[in-house]
Amino acid sequence: MNDKLSKAIDECRAKIGVIGLGYVGLPLAVELGRAGFEVTGFEVDAKKVASINRKISYIGDVKTTDLAALVSGGKLKATVDFSKLGGQDAIIVCVPTPLRKSKDPDVSYIISATNSIAKTIRKGQLIILESTTYPGTTRELVLPMIEKNGLKCGRDIFLAFSPERVDPSNSKFNISNTPKVVGGITPKCGKLASSLYSKITSSVKYVTSPEAAEMVKLLENTFRAVNIALVNEVALMCDRLKLDVWEIIDAAGTKPFGFMPFYPGPGIGGHCIPLDPHYLSWKLKTLNFYSRFIELAGEMNSKMPEYLVQKIVDAVNERGKSIRGAKILLLGMAYKKDVSDLRESPSLDVLKLLLDKKANTAYYDPYISDFKMGGRTFRSVKNLKSLSGYDAVVVVTNHTVIDYADIVKRASLVIDSRNATKGIKSSKVIKL
């Protein structure tokens, strides 16, 4: 089984199934198709399936022309029929792993995907989990489910974990030039998974277990969360000291060793950085270990939307206007620039806080035309032609397509939480 599968992978003849066609799954499916594999995407969202089969991309990092070429060439297709998983030689799971309100891991999507795999699993299949999760998930949760029919991992079937490292809208790093980390249940499992990824990426780092690979992903994002929390606290310090935190960071960044610049903002968002550290914290609590850094970082980062809103309130008040009834325009609702992803976006918190204060709040985002929150639908203003009617324009997400010099020229007050107005000198600009 091992030799047959290994040869199929080496010759790019293996049929690959990708479960979950979102920001992680679709780019991965495209790269596998480019490498010559026949790829089938499995997705519960029929709209996504229809879009792929119509040769239209809904992910910013995947060009419609590239997707269309693969679909037309028979290298990529999508389906809602999970019974076809049995026909795949390798299956890669890329489903969401959110947190519950109690900040406990919600692995229901992993369980659902694994159940679908278990129903059709056969000898000679390789299963890889990419969804970010706590150390032990692959071995303790997935392994028993795929072995329940009597197949033995490492002999009949093969299981590994390889954390996704997707950074949406990053023009420099993508799947092909970002090393993959792989940990297998057995050495054979790890070797097969490494061989598959070596076809689509520059290098593969093999670690000794899936637990180690799971921990790698959590370390990466906990590192970011803690350092962002530190620089957010420095921003508050600089505010008290009447210093420009952006100037401080730029100057510190000139040091060629021992310093890596991180930048403050209105909070952290997306599916990874706000959530992943809590997966690690939760796991450690089950082992009677309290992670102080993670908890403190989460507390600091969660305060930033309130801090920004207080900045807005103070700035509007200084100009003789109450925040109640004030017209506020938020620039950017996505969690990061140049994406359309609203997940965990701090902009949502800022909007809610302003609405709670009875501010007349609107938003503009070229990537998000509308969204729902609290049973209400919000729609982006159509353009930025008229800013004179707003008491404040607030940069929450710094999309690069926005002309910030023009915003400063035409707005009466600009509150910049992302340093989007760097180099623009104006008394109308207040920075975080």
- Annotated active-site positions, please? 272
> Whole-angstrom Cα distance, residue 141 to residue 357?
45
Closest C-alpha among 218, 227, 224 to residue 97: 218
| DSSP codes joined into one string, 49-66 | HHHHHTT---STTS-HHH
CA–CA separation, 39 vs 20, rounded Å? 13
Q: In this structure, how many other beta carbons lie within 10 angstroms of the beta carbon of residue 232?
A: 25
Phi and psi, residue 142, nearest 5°: -75, -45
Scanning 273-415, the segments in alpha helix (DSSP H) are: 276-285, 292-318, 346-356, 404-410
Closest CA to 265 of 273, 256, 257, 275: 273
The structure tokens listed for 137 are 């998930």
* φ, ψ (nearest 5 deg) of residue 4: -65, -45
- CA–CA dist 430, 394 (Å, integer): 9
